[in-house]
Amino acid sequence: MTPTPPLVVVPANEVTCADLLSIFGTRGQGSRCLCQRYRLRPGEYFAGFAVEERAQRLREQTDCGHAGSGTTSGLVALLDGSAVGWCAVAPRAEYEGLVRNQKVPWKGRAEDRTDPGIWAVTCLFVRAGYRRRGISRALAGAAVGFARESGARALEAYPMTTTNVIDEELHVGTVGVFVAAGLTEVGRPTQRRAVLRIDF
């Protein structure tokens, strides 16, 4: 029996930018979004700026390639040394598009959207060819520890409520992935999206 290669999760600034970008591939929604959906500024839309601009923003947000910086907006899963998964985890207020959204995650909730102590996972993306191997679960579990160690008072996630969706929609993860990481459901802003949270 061949042993399973080790899976480790590290802050995104500890990997090269080339390795980070390789996770998203060259086709599909991930390669076009580059984890900028919830970071669009007022008046921005994807067709309005080039994919290279999105890639540059991701480089700046993660500080990839600068292992000693201690500043990043996410985590990377490495399987036998290869970058295979990405998790966006940062203070919720940094996701301008999320703060402006009227339904997810705010419907039925009254709280300060800009509270810097509340962190959020907005994306779990696994490289093509490596899906359904538990990488998303490893990333979600690591995000809990990362947020806690970074001083967060709570961590939220906004997963799909069903797995009967196209792969591109699963960039937010599934309920089961976050329940396994210790989060608890606190809301259902739409039929297909849930709000899960863990308080530290």
Task: Give the pLDDT score at 52.
Answer: 92
How do strand 74-79 and strand 184-187 relate by DSSP bridges?
unpaired
DSSP 3-state of 85: strand
Task: Give the pLDDT score at 1.
Answer: 47
Q: With a cut of 70, which residues of the chain have pLDDT below it? A: 1-5, 163-170
- Residue 105 preceded by cis peptide, ω within 30: yes
How do strand 118-126 and strand 154-157 relate by DSSP bridges?
parallel
Task: Give the pLDDT score at 3.
Answer: 52
Task: Give the pLDDT score at 44.
Answer: 86
Rounded Cα distance between 86 and 65, Å, is: 15
- 35, 170 Cβ separation under 8 angstroms: no
Task: Give the pLDDT score at 165.
Answer: 55
What residue ranges define each of the domains in the chain, with the CATH number in brackets?
7-199 (3.40.630.30)
- 154, 200 Cβ separation under 8 angstroms: yes
